[in-house]
Structure 1
Amino acid sequence: MESKDKLFNKGFLSITLINFLVYLVYYLLMVIIAVVAQEKLGATLSQAGLASGIYVIGTLVARLYVGKKLEVLGRKQTLRVGIILYLITTLMYLYMPSIAILYVVRLLNGFFYGTVSTATNAIVTEYIPLSRRGEGINYYGLSTSLAAAIGPFLGMLLLHATSINFIVIMSSIILAFTVIGCFILNVNNMALNSDQRALADSWKINTFIDTKVVFIAAIAFIMGLAYSSVLSFLASYVETIDLVSISSFFFVVYALVITVTRPMAGRIFDRYGENSVMYPSYFFLAVGLFVLSITTSSWELLFSGALIGLGYGTFMSNGQAVALHLEKDISRIGVALSTYFVGLDLGIGVGPYLLGALRNFVDFKQMYLMTAALPIICAVLYKLFYKGAKTEERLPENGQHAA
């Protein structure tokens, strides 16, 4: 029988692999959709941008609704139905006669991606010992980070070497194996009492948003806003400073740093508390964006990538661990996690629009210098308003598992 403190158990490894494959397909398709919309459907730049962005709308709706209804619908059923529909809506990319159809497919695909990722984020908590929560969430978060590094690289490589249909079919095959994995994985549903079920069935705002997690979700929004400057404008920025040739290694360095440091950050979180990793994450992101704003050489660009990985990469997983730390009611885990990720996704989603508007008044260097202030603002807000939570075992009455 496995020790209750064993982290790398069969369930943890399985759900982490499933999460990696789900995110891999997400990133694989994300980087090629705008190109496909323009080249195959004759879309304008703004239409192509909407084709990419509408996916986020579907994801946000799913996070809010599925996060609230997860325990009522059942974790097992939500995961299995969600992954099947994620596969089906991915296959629908094979039929794209118009930009309007592409919008519909992207919206639906985003919704079911959000459904599956919301379910996996809750399910993994069942397999992480409470004493190793920070470490477990950081290892689990590696699956997302690796997918974020491999997916875009693979997508761009295949786009130039093959065709959109080949990429869609390959993505569908990956998801087909993931469907099998989701049906093999042992997932326990929650047994809710009448009060918990009534809360989940209510349409009050607090049933969609976990008020205990709102603050850390707001911090996640600002951090996501800062990081969106890198995702959206780095490709254009490196052209202005003549560093295009080395820029492809920026995210490689970012991913390598996260891979090496996340397990360590998780152990520090468990041993010394959340503040021991949250404050450094704000500091490193701020310094990373500052270095990016003054970059003139290859080593400075890659060094900024390492610092940004230490900052945003550390925050992303440990912010999730904080959200879990704050919500003691196990029946509300789905709502707590969806609240956190809504904040993060919104920051990444609206950032390009807000910073794009800012770019009308400042140059890239000034923009990155200004975004470097955002993590500092987060650190100040966190110091003033974050009250934390005691690390204690959840009470039995908060919810029990049922087969």
Structure 2
Amino acid sequence: MNNDQSMEKIWTKSFVFIFLSNFFLFLTFYALLTTLPIFVLEELSGSETQAGLVATIFLLSAIIVRPFSGRLLGDFGKKKMLIISMLLFMASSFLYIGINSLYLLLALRFFHGIWFSIASTATGAIAADIVPETRRGEGLGYYVMSQNIAVVVGPFIGLTLLQVTTFQNLFLVLSVLMVGAIVFTSLVSDPTAAKPSKRKLSVSDLFDGKALPIAAVASLIAFSYSAILSFISIYAKSIGLIEAASYFYVLFAAAMLLSRPFVGRLFDRVGPNIVIYPSIGLFAAGLLVLSIVQSPMMLFLSAILVGLGYGTVVPCLQTLAIQSAGKGRSAHATATFFTLFDTGVATGSYVLGLIATNFGFQQLYITTGIFMIVVVFAYKLMMKKRKETEVKNYKPVKIG
């Protein structure tokens, strides 16, 4: 890599605006994901399994729509579809204020998930197009920081507001914050133009085949991560650490943010393996520590380990998926990645909800920690197959 390439600018105006737009989108997503399980238990008198279903149904709609997102973004334009989906996501957020039954909540979650799917695919695809190709690992790592920060700000706002006000006021605040996302979205310059396709919808419009193996590994990570997303607030409340749960997300995000610049450069210069294997190990360690939490300090230790592990491995896998897809396929690769990622979270939210209901939260976190062994073998197999494919398709350049 020469000096001109390594100094290509990442933090352009459009990158900053797409960063902020994605931040507000995920802030609302994480705030709702953290507080709605409590809403189900306390306001709707539901069970832990039903609380998990609230996350599952949201992601189910996202999973159904996500494969079509790449084609939609290509046909109508990434920025145009992003603005439309952001507006409908905001409108959906307002509707939570009037919810008074589990069935209405599930229906709204399904509708809400549709627009989250399109919006999050669009922001990721636009970011991939904006970032210089020679600094894609580092640039997308910085972009994912918008989600990393939202991981702490969203739950922190949600759990803090619930201590001083009602769920209805919380939903109102989150809806108003989405206005910020729409403002920043309008300021983004989309570097690609819409290219309507006249051909019939095909499998390649729904999934990127080259990104699928990497996305499959990410889905396994997501399965275990759903134990954090869907149940950490309920778990903390059950062991008398609900106030400490807010700071769990602070340390979780801080660990991700502090490691991000170093990890992104290491990925670009040395390769993915030196980053991904240790990250999976740290994530597993954090989950196992959660299973034996007895004090705020142990909860905070698990937050740091999970933040370092999960916060590193996911952006690295997303970068690999986009790199595998090649030019002009960033939207399809992003859609493929998040389709499988959301599938992992949705499956985990429901399956792990059953484990929590029948065996308790400690067994839940032991199970997800040990499950990381499966992830290691899956990643190793995927990289082996990828290398074999590259060797098979390699064509030496003829000289003379």
- TM bracket (short chain): 0.7 to 0.9
Report the counterpart of residue 380 of structure 1 in structure 2: 377
Output the CA distance in 2 between the equivalents of 1:73 and 1:244: 45
Correspondence 1:347 to 2:344:
yes
Correspondence 1:132 to 2:135:
yes
Report the counterpart of residue 393 of structure 1 in structure 2: none
User: What secondary structure is seen at the aligned counterpart in 1 of 2:193?
Assistant: strand
Change (3 A) 1:106 1:44: same
Output the CA distance in 1 between the equivalents of 2:169 and 2:296: 35
Aligned pairs (5 A) from 1:30-109? 30-37=33-40, 42=44, 44-45=46-47, 49-96=52-99, 98-109=101-112
Report the counterpart of residue 396 of structure 2 in structure 1: none
Letter in 1 for 2:219: F
Output the CA distance in 1 between the equivalents of 2:379 and 2:143: 25
Offset, 1:37: 4.8
Report the counterpart of residue 25 of structure 2 in structure 1: 22
Aligned pairs (5 A) from 1:111-122? 111-122=114-125
Letter in 2 for 1:44: G
* Unpaired runs of at least 5, structure 1: 391-403
Q: Deviations over 1:219-250 (max 9, x none)?
A: 11111112223334445655777766645433
Q: Deviations over 1:327-363 (max 9, x none)?
A: 1131x22121111112222222211332344457756
User: What secondary structure is seen at the aligned counterpart in 1 of 2:28?
Assistant: helix
Offset, 1:22: 1.0
Equivalent pair of 2:70/2:206 in contact (CA under 8 Å): yes
Output the CA distance in 2 between the equivalents of 1:159 and 1:238: 15
Change (3 A) 1:236 1:103: closer
Change (3 A) 1:310 1:322: same
TM-score by length of 1: 0.84
Report the counterpart of residue 219 of structure 1 in structure 2: 217
Aligned pairs (5 A) from 1:304-383? 304-330=302-328, 332-359=329-356, 364-383=361-380
Offset, 1:374: 2.3
Report the counterpart of residue 397 of structure 2 in structure 1: none
The alignment-based identity, stated in percent, is 32
Offset, 1:365: 4.3
Equivalent pair of 2:53/2:350 in contact (CA under 8 Å): no
User: What secondary structure is seen at the aligned counterpart in 1 of 2:9?
Assistant: coil
Output the CA distance in 1 between the equivalents of 2:316 and 2:273: 10
Change (3 A) 1:98 1:132: same
Aligned pairs (5 A) from 1:197-346? 197=197, 201-202=200-201, 204-235=202-233, 246-295=244-293, 298-330=296-328, 332-346=329-343
Letter in 2 for 1:291: V
Offset, 1:198: 5.2
Letter in 2 for 1:208: L
Output the CA distance in 2 between the equivalents of 1:210 and 1:291: 37
Q: Which of the numbers 6, 9, 14 marks the counterpart of 1:11?
A: 14
Change (3 A) 1:187 1:306: same
Output the CA distance in 2 between the equivalents of 1:187 and 1:266: 24
Q: Deviations over 1:267-307 (max 9, x none)?
A: 11111122221112112112323333455555443222212
Equivalent pair of 1:76/1:189 in contact (CA under 8 Å): no
Output the CA distance in 2 between the equivalents of 1:165 and 1:135: 39
Change (3 A) 1:95 1:343: same
Q: Which of the numbers 133, 157, 161 marks the counterpart of 1:158?
A: 161
Aligned residues: 382
Q: CA RMSD in A?
A: 2.9
Equivalent pair of 2:355/2:363 in contact (CA under 8 Å): no
Q: Deviations over 1:163-211 (max 9, x none)?
A: 3343333223222232232223222443549xxx356x41x43431221
Output the CA distance in 1 between the equivalents of 2:234 and 2:107: 29
Offset, 1:113: 1.7
